[in-house]
């Protein structure tokens, strides 16, 4: 039975995360035997947003799909790119008329794989449409094209993430959490064949506060002032998962966490 191996990496944070990808991605692809690569890129531009140049850089490295989340809107120059390049996603459950696309179908090794980007509502501070309804509604269209469907659920609340994985269980190949930048150890495959992990972690600086400078985070906590945070200038790691999915059924057969510190960083 034909299978596709998909490498999905967590939020890329700043130049540090991009540099780690530049140095380590090719070796990671070789070691995991990945045939299709996706990353969440919404924190690449100094921790907030994504520029057109960042997008091109990721695609030039061999990334096939870039997902995002609430921070994608912080760089206005990316807005027209969201319309122009279907491989760059924003969450599907934003109101109608917003720039961009929430899903895409790509092909690798003769296998079609759909990617669906959703955003949570709990503790996110943004009033988006219901991700549960939006995701289920789009699935009927995507499943006409392929059974291999991977969901990036960009959300803060663990309960909301786990609930969505149950809601979509058996209807998608994977429900992968992003946004918190903290990798979880709850990776699993359900009896219905859906791979699940609460958060992929990040491709970002080690020894940081979710990618940012610890001292600035401490000062924000002590003073309660809106101190501008900055990406921590330290070597970065790569975090995510490698999955194997049956092409004909869309059932996941493998999900393994990935952690790599590129040697040259």
State the pLDDT confidence band at 1, using cuts at 50, 70 and 90: confident
pLDDT at 265 over 70: no
Q: What region, left, alpha or beta, does residue 123 occupy, with left being phi > 0 and alpha being psi -120 to 50 degrees?
A: left
Mean local confidence (pLDDT), 8-21: 96
181 has catalytic annotation: no
The fourth-level CATH superfamily of domain 3-260 is: Metallo-dependent phosphatases (3.60.21.10)
- For the chain, strand residue ranges (E) read 3-9, 11-12, 36-40, 65-67, 103-108, 111-119, 149-154, 174-178, 188-189, 195-197, 202-205, 236-246, 252-260
State the pLDDT confidence band at 250, using cuts at 50, 70 and 90: very high
Chain segment 118-153, per-residue pLDDT in tens: 999 998 888 899 999 999 999 989 999 999 999 999
Query: Domain coordinates of the chain in residue numbers?
Result: 3-260
Classify burial at 217, counting beta carbons within 10 Å of its beta carbon; exposed 0-12, middle 13-18, buried 19 or more.
middle
Could you tell me the strand order of the sheet in which 188-189 lies? 103-108, 111-119, 149-154, 174-178, 195-197, 188-189
Mean local confidence (pLDDT), 26-46: 96
Torsion of CA 85, 87, 93, 94, to 10 degrees: -30
Mean local confidence (pLDDT), 45-51: 93
Res 264: pLDDT: 60
pLDDT at 260 over 70: yes
Task: Check if the beta carbon of residue 90 is closer than 8 Å to that of residue 118.
Answer: no
Strands 195-197 and 188-189, how do they pair?
A: antiparallel
On the CB side of 132, CA atoms within 13 Å amount to 11
Catalytic residue, chosen from 71, 154, 181, 232, is: 71
């Amino acid at each position: 039975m034909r299978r596709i191996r998909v490498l999905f990496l967590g939020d890329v944070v700043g130049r540090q995360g991009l540099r780690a990808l530049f140095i380590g991605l090719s070796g990671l692809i070789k070691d995991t035997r990945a045939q299709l690569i996706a990353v969440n890129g919404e924190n690449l531009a100094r921790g907030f947003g994504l520029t057109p140049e960042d997008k091109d850089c990721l695609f030039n490295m061999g990334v096939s799909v870039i997902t995002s989340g609430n921070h994608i809107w912080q760089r206005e120059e990316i807005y027209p790119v969201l319309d122009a390049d279907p491989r760059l996603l924003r969450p599907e459950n934003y109101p109608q008329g917003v720039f961009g696309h929430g899903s895409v179908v790509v092909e690798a090794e003769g296998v079609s794989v759909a990617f669906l980007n959703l955003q949570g509502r709990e503790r996110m501070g943004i009033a988006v449409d219901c991700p549960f309804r939006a995701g289920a509604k789009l699935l009927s269209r995507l499943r006409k094209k392929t059974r291999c469907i991977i969901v990036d659920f960009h959300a803060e609340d663990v309960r909301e993430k786990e609930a969505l994985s149950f809601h979509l269980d058996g209807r998608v190949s994977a429900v992968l959490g992003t946004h918190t930048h903290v990798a979880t150890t709850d990776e699993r495959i359900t009896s219905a064949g859906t791979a699940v992990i609460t958060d992929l972690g990040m491709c970002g600086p080690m020894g940081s506060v979710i990618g940012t400078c610890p001292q600035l985070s401490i000062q924000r906590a002590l003073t309660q002032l809106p101190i501008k945070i900055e990406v921590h200038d330290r070597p970065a790691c790569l975090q995510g998962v490698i999955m194997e999915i049956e092409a004909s059924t869309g059932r996941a057969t493998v999900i393994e966490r990935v952690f790599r510190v590129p040697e040259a960083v």
